[in-house]
Amino acid sequence: MPHTTTMATMLELTDVDTYYGASHILQGLSLKVGAGEAVALLGRNGAGKTTTMRSVLGLTPPKRGSILMDGTEIARAKTHRIARQGVAFVASGRRVFGGLTVAQNLELAARTLGKRAAADGRTLEDVLTVFPKLRELADRRAGFLSGGEQQMLKLARALLGNPRLLLLDEPTEGLSPAVVSDLGRWLDRLREQGLSILLTEQNALFALAHVDRGYVMLKGRITHEASAEELRSSEEVRAALGVG
């Protein structure tokens, strides 16, 4: 398993403060994702997980603090520039172009995102190797796919931008247990390919089974940081997350 002290840093947030109007949401938040590392950001409803992702993406830029992506400061950069740095985002819920077919959704992503991908980047063929089922579903309208199939399509679209860092917001939300275990396999596959991943989850046990390290947050601050194994076995962390 990769370890942060020896690996290069892909993403690094230092003392980030983010507000919605006058509400001070992220309060001096610091976290890191190493190159090729999968990291979970855990916490109950309203802890600030989505706001952390929005801060990284430039959707709700932080008022103070630094966000380095591969050594480049992105804390106050525009979202399209941050995407060009190699950051891809998969939002929670059903966000596909429902009226388009699976093939059209992928072609659109390949055309818009693929442009910024390196010449040796992932092609549609590579992505379909990870998700072969999308080939069978090519002519199906995306709006009629099951929750798991839509999740697969969202991941495939994000990968077409050839990201180096994938931000996944609550990927298990609304998925059946069988699909959650499929998702776990897809994540493991992407990790094996060396992609850096930061995922937020309320389903802590799922997340900790598929990441190297994790952070627990409460009210906009990090309360715990440890390896997935340590977090899983900590009574205190289980209590903080409300895990049995």
Ligand X SMILES: Nc1ncnc2c1ncn2[C@@H]1O[C@H](COP(=O)(O)OP(=O)(O)OP(=O)(O)O)[C@@H](O)[C@H]1O
Q: How many C-beta atoms surround the C-beta of residue 223 within 10 A?
A: 15
Pick 31 or 109: Cβ nearer ligand X:
31
Q: Does 224 bind ligand X (CB under 6 A)?
A: no
Pick 5 or 23: Cβ nearer ligand X:
23
Q: Does 50 bind ligand X (CB under 6 A)?
A: yes
Q: How does DSSP assign 31-74, residue by residue?
A: EEEETT-EEEEE-STTSSHHHHHHHHHTSS--SEEEEEETTEE-
Q: Does 43 bind ligand X (CB under 6 A)?
A: yes
Pick 201 or 212: Cβ nearer ligand X:
201
Pick 51 or 105: Cβ nearer ligand X:
51
Q: Does 49 bind ligand X (CB under 6 A)?
A: yes
Q: Does 48 bind ligand X (CB under 6 A)?
A: yes
Interacting residues with ligand X between 8 and 27 (CB under 6 A): 20, 23, 25
Return the residue of 47, 75, 113, 195 that touches ligand X, per CB under 6 A: 47
Interacting residues with ligand X between 91 and 120 (CB under 6 A): none
Binding region for ligand X (CB under 6 A):
20, 23, 25, 43, 45-51, 202
